[in-house]
């Protein structure tokens, strides 16, 4: 069973895709660029921390804990 974090990241990625689709349906392209940028940021955010932690070899959640000052919580698979 995927962790809550993994499910939330997948959901965020799905919402980014839906937002991109919505951007292309706007009349006269008004606001299209802004929505596409937001979609890109959402998609990148969905995987950014995981990629950084994999690159550093740290356990999942470590970088976020360091940034927020919270204690490192164990991640259950």
pLDDT of residue 29: 87
Mean pLDDT of 22-50: 88
Q: pTM for this structure?
A: 0.59
| pLDDT mean across residues, the chain | 75
Helix pair 4-23, 32-56: axis angle to 10 deg: 150
DSSP 1: -
DSSP 73: P
Q: Kindly list the domain boundaries of the chain, sorted by start residue.
A: 4-68
Contact call for residues 46 and 16 (beta carbons, < 8 A): yes
CB proximity list for 31: less than 8 A, separation 6 or greater: 23
What's the pLDDT band for 25 if we cut at 50, 70, 90? very high
The pLDDT of residue 43 is above 80: yes
pLDDT of residue 41: 93
Planar angle of CA 61, 63, 68, nearest 5 degrees: 95
pLDDT of residue 69: 47
């Amino acid at each position: 069973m995927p962790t809550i974090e993994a499910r939330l990241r997948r959901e965020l990625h799905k919402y980014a895709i839906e937002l991109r689709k919505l951007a292309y349906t706007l009349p006269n392209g008004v606001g299209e660029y802004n929505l596409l940028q937001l979609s890109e940021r959402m998609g990148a955010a969905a995987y950014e921390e995981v990629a950084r932690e994999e690159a550093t070899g740290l356990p999942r959640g470590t970088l976020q804990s360091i940034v927020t000052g919270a204690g490192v919580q164990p991640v259950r698979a």
